[in-house]
A and B are shown apart, each in its own frame.
Chain A
Amino acid sequence: MNTPPHESGEKHVTGEAVYIDDIPVNAQLLAGRVVYSPHAHARIVSFDLSQAKKVLGVHAVLCHKDIPGHNQMGPVVKDEPCLAMDEVVCIGQAVFLIAAETEEQCLEAEKKIKIKYELLEPILTLEKAIEKNNLLGPPRTMHRGDAEAALKSSPHTIKGVLRTGAQEHWYLETQICLCVPGEGKEINVFSSTQHPSETQALIAGVLGVGKHDVVVEVRRMGGAFGGKETQGNHAACWSALLCNATKRPVKVRLFRDDDQKMTGKRHRILAKYEVGFDDDGMLNAFKVEVNSDAGCATDLSFAILERTMLHTDNCYYVPNFSILARAWKTNLPSNTAFRGFGGPQGMAIAETAVDRVARFLKKDAAEIRHKNFYGIESRNVTQYGQTVENNRLFLLYDQLMKSSEYSRRKREVNEFNAANEFQKKGLAITPVKFGISFTTTYLNQAGALVNVYKDGTILVNHGGTEMGQGLHTKIHQIAAAEFGVSLDKVKVNATNTSKVPNTSPTAASAGADLNGMAVKNAIDTLKSRIATAMVQIFLDENPDIPSLHNSIVFKDDWIIDSDHPERKILFSDAMPLMNLRQVSLSATGFYKTPNIEWDKKKSWGRPFNYYAFGMCVSEVMIDVLTGQHTLLRTDILHDVGDSLNPAIDMGQVEGGYIQGVGWCTTEEIKWDDKGNLLTHSPDTYKIPSVQDIPKDFRVELLQGVPNPNAIRKSKAVAEPPLMLALSTWLAIKDAISAVADHELEPEFALPATNEVILLSIENLKARMRSSDGEAVLKAPLTAKTSRSKT
Chain B
Amino acid sequence: MIPEISFVLDGSIVTIDFTKPSSRGPTTTVLNYLRSLPGHKGVKEGCAEGDCGACTVVLGELVGNKSIRYKSADSCLLFLPMIHGRQLITVENLKDPSGELHPVQSAMVESSGSQCGFCTPGIVMSLFSLYKSTDHPTRLQIDDALTGNLCRCTGYKPIIEAAAHACVHKGLDHLSRDYSRIVGLLKSIPQAPIHIKTKLQSYFKPTSLSAVFSHRRQHPDAVIVSGATDVALRVTKKHELIPEIIDLSDIAELKAITNTATTLTIGAGVTLTEAMPRIEHDFPALYKMLSVFGSQQIRNLATFGGNLGSASPIGDALPVLMAYGAKVVLKRPNGKRDVSLDDYFLGYRKTARAANELITAIVIPKLKNGAAVRSYKISKRKDLDISTLSGGFRLDAKNSGTVKNIVLAYGGMAERTKRATTAEQFLVGKQWNRQTVERAMPLIDKDFTPISDARAGAEFRKVAARNLLLKFWTDTVMNE
* Cross-chain pair count, CB within 8 angstroms: 235
Q: Could you tell me the distance in whole angstroms from the C-beta of A227 to the nearest C-beta in chain B?
A: 10
- Do residues B154 and A690 form an inter-chain contact, with CB atoms below 8 A? no
In the assembly, what is the distance between CA of A388 and CA of B49, in Å?
48
- Do residues A758 and B464 form an inter-chain contact, with CB atoms below 8 A? yes
Q: Which of B315-323, B377-385, B418-426 contacts A (4 or more CB under 8 A)?
A: B377-385
- Do residues A693 and B156 form an inter-chain contact, with CB atoms below 8 A? yes
Chain B residues with CB below 8 A from A17, complex form: 117, 120
Interface string of B132-155 (1 = CB under 8 A from A): 000000000001001101111111
Closest B residue to A170 by beta carbon equals: B152
Chain A residues with CB below 8 A from B384, complex form: 689
- Do residues B94 and A14 form an inter-chain contact, with CB atoms below 8 A? yes
In the assembly, what is the distance between CA of A671 and CA of B37, in Å?
39
Chain A residues with CB below 8 A from B46, complex form: 172-174, 256
Interface string of A768-780 (1 = CB under 8 A from B): 0000000000000
**A650 part of interface (Cβ distance < 8 Å):** yes
Chain A residues with CB below 8 A from B157, complex form: 654, 693, 697, 699
In the assembly, what is the distance between CA of A316 and CA of B380, in Å?
34
Most buried by A among B152, B160, B376: B152
Interface set, chain B 33-87, CB cutoff 8 A to A: 35, 38, 40-49, 51-52, 54
Chain A residues with CB below 8 A from B101, complex form: 10, 13-14
In the assembly, what is the distance between CA of A657 and CA of B154, in Å?
10
- Do residues B105 and A14 form an inter-chain contact, with CB atoms below 8 A? yes
Chain B residues with CB below 8 A from A630, complex form: 382
- Do residues B153 and A8 form an inter-chain contact, with CB atoms below 8 A? no
- Do residues A692 and B381 form an inter-chain contact, with CB atoms below 8 A? yes
Interface string of A1-28 (1 = CB under 8 A from B): 0000110111111111111011010000
Chain A residues with CB below 8 A from B155, complex form: 651, 654-659, 688, 693
In which size bucket is the chain B interface? 35 or more
Q: Could you tell me the distance in whole angstroms from the C-beta of A723 to the nearest C-beta in chain B?
A: 14
Chain B residues with CB below 8 A from A13, complex form: 91, 101, 104-106, 108-109, 113-114, 120-121, 124
**B386 part of interface (Cβ distance < 8 Å):** yes
- Given A690-B160, A754-B380: A670 in contact with B454 (beta carbons within 8 A): yes
Q: Could you tell me the distance in whole angstroms from the C-beta of A225 to the nearest C-beta in chain B?
A: 7
Q: Which of A11, A22, A173, A655 contacts B154 (CB 8 A)?
A: A655
In the assembly, what is the distance between CA of A15 and CA of B158, in Å?
18
- Do residues B383 and A691 form an inter-chain contact, with CB atoms below 8 A? yes
Q: Could you tell me the distance in whole angstroms from the C-beta of A748 to the nearest C-beta in chain B?
A: 15
- Do residues A655 and B115 form an inter-chain contact, with CB atoms below 8 A? yes
- Do residues B471 and A422 form an inter-chain contact, with CB atoms below 8 A? yes
Closest B residue to A467 by beta carbon equals: B116
- Do residues B380 and A668 form an inter-chain contact, with CB atoms below 8 A? yes
**A717 part of interface (Cβ distance < 8 Å):** no
Chain B residues with CB below 8 A from A683, complex form: 49, 51, 386
Interface set, chain B 421-480, CB cutoff 8 A to A: 453-457, 459-460, 463-464, 467-468, 470-471, 474
Chain A residues with CB below 8 A from B110, complex form: 5
Closest B residue to A761 by beta carbon equals: B463
**B237 part of interface (Cβ distance < 8 Å):** yes
- Given A172-B150, A172-B152: A15 in contact with B454 (beta carbons within 8 A): no
- Given A14-B94, A15-B91: A754 in contact with B378 (beta carbons within 8 A): yes
**B90 part of interface (Cβ distance < 8 Å):** yes
Q: Could you tell me the distance in whole angstroms from the C-beta of A518 to the nearest C-beta in chain B?
A: 23
**B282 part of interface (Cβ distance < 8 Å):** no
In the assembly, what is the distance between CA of A767 and CA of B108, in Å?
51
- Given A628-B382, A651-B158: A172 in contact with B44 (beta carbons within 8 A): yes
Interface set, chain A 164-194, CB cutoff 8 A to B: 169-174
- Do residues A678 and B454 form an inter-chain contact, with CB atoms below 8 A? yes
**B239 part of interface (Cβ distance < 8 Å):** yes
In the assembly, what is the distance between CA of A220 and CA of B94, in Å?
23
**B353 part of interface (Cβ distance < 8 Å):** no
Q: Which of A21, A257, A626 contacts B464 (CB 8 A)?
A: A626
**A125 part of interface (Cβ distance < 8 Å):** no
Closest B residue to A629 by beta carbon equals: B382
Closest A residue to B119 by beta carbon equals: A172
Closest A residue to B474 by beta carbon equals: A422
- Do residues A222 and B239 form an inter-chain contact, with CB atoms below 8 A? no
- Do residues A12 and B114 form an inter-chain contact, with CB atoms below 8 A? yes
**B329 part of interface (Cβ distance < 8 Å):** no
In the assembly, what is the distance between CA of A6 and CA of B110, in Å?
9
Most buried by B among A6, A173, A626, A679: A626
- Do residues B150 and A687 form an inter-chain contact, with CB atoms below 8 A? yes
**B159 part of interface (Cβ distance < 8 Å):** yes
- Do residues B464 and A627 form an inter-chain contact, with CB atoms below 8 A? yes
**A469 part of interface (Cβ distance < 8 Å):** yes
Chain A residues with CB below 8 A from B454, complex form: 670, 678-679, 684
- Do residues A626 and B112 form an inter-chain contact, with CB atoms below 8 A? no
Closest A residue to B146 by beta carbon equals: A690
In the assembly, what is the distance between CA of A17 and CA of B42, in Å?
8
Interface string of A662-682 (1 = CB under 8 A from B): 000010101000000011011
- Do residues B467 and A625 form an inter-chain contact, with CB atoms below 8 A? yes
- Given A692-B381, A693-B155: A173 in contact with B118 (beta carbons within 8 A): yes
- Given A13-B114, A759-B460: A682 in contact with B150 (beta carbons within 8 A): yes
Q: Which of B118, B143, B160, B386 contacts A222 (CB 8 A)?
A: B118
**B221 part of interface (Cβ distance < 8 Å):** no
Closest A residue to B453 by beta carbon equals: A678
- Do residues A468 and B115 form an inter-chain contact, with CB atoms below 8 A? yes
Closest B residue to A107 by beta carbon equals: B239
Q: Could you tell me the distance in whole angstroms from the C-beta of B148 to the nearest C-beta in chain A?
A: 8
Chain A residues with CB below 8 A from B332, complex form: none
- Do residues B376 and A626 form an inter-chain contact, with CB atoms below 8 A? yes
**B216 part of interface (Cβ distance < 8 Å):** no
**B278 part of interface (Cβ distance < 8 Å):** no
In the assembly, what is the distance between CA of A469 and CA of B237, in Å?
31
- Do residues A759 and B459 form an inter-chain contact, with CB atoms below 8 A? yes
**A394 part of interface (Cβ distance < 8 Å):** no
- Do residues A24 and B38 form an inter-chain contact, with CB atoms below 8 A? yes
**B95 part of interface (Cβ distance < 8 Å):** yes
In the assembly, what is the distance between CA of A770 and CA of B149, in Å?
46
Q: Which of A626, A627, A682 contacts B51 (CB 8 A)?
A: A682
In the assembly, what is the distance between CA of A13 and CA of B455, in Å?
34
**B280 part of interface (Cβ distance < 8 Å):** no
Q: Could you tell me the distance in whole angstroms from the C-beta of A244 to the nearest C-beta in chain B?
A: 26
In the assembly, what is the distance between CA of A312 and CA of B117, in Å?
34
Chain A residues with CB below 8 A from B460, complex form: 627, 754-755, 758-759
Chain A residues with CB below 8 A from B471, complex form: 422, 625-626
- Do residues A22 and B41 form an inter-chain contact, with CB atoms below 8 A? yes
Closest B residue to A169 by beta carbon equals: B152
Q: Which of A15, A625, A657, A686 contacts B43 (CB 8 A)?
A: A15
**B92 part of interface (Cβ distance < 8 Å):** yes
Q: Could you tell me the distance in whole angstroms from the C-beta of A719 to the nearest C-beta in chain B?
A: 14
Chain B residues with CB below 8 A from A648, complex form: 112
Chain B residues with CB below 8 A from A681, complex form: 47, 49, 51, 237
Closest B residue to A16 by beta carbon equals: B42
Chain B residues with CB below 8 A from A691, complex form: 143, 147, 382-383
- Do residues B158 and A689 form an inter-chain contact, with CB atoms below 8 A? no
- Do residues B118 and A682 form an inter-chain contact, with CB atoms below 8 A? no
Q: Which of A14, A172, A689, A753 contacts B383 (CB 8 A)?
A: A689
Q: Which of A104, A468, A647, A689 contacts B381 (CB 8 A)?
A: A689
Q: Which of B41, B52, B121, B124 contacts A682 (CB 8 A)?
A: B52
Most buried by A among B43, B155, B459, B467: B155
Interface string of A563-590 (1 = CB under 8 A from B): 0000000000000000000000000000
* 8 interchain pairs, CB-CB under 8 A: A14-B42, A17-B120, A22-B41, A169-B152, A172-B44, A650-B112, A654-B158, A681-B47
Closest 7 pairs between A and B when the two form their complex, measured CB to CB: A15-B42, A468-B116, A222-B118, A12-B117, A468-B115, A658-B155, A682-B51
Known: A223-B116, A625-B471, A690-B159. 11 other contacts (CB 8 A): A12-B108, A15-B43, A15-B124, A18-B41, A21-B35, A172-B150, A220-B117, A651-B154, A678-B453, A683-B386, A692-B382
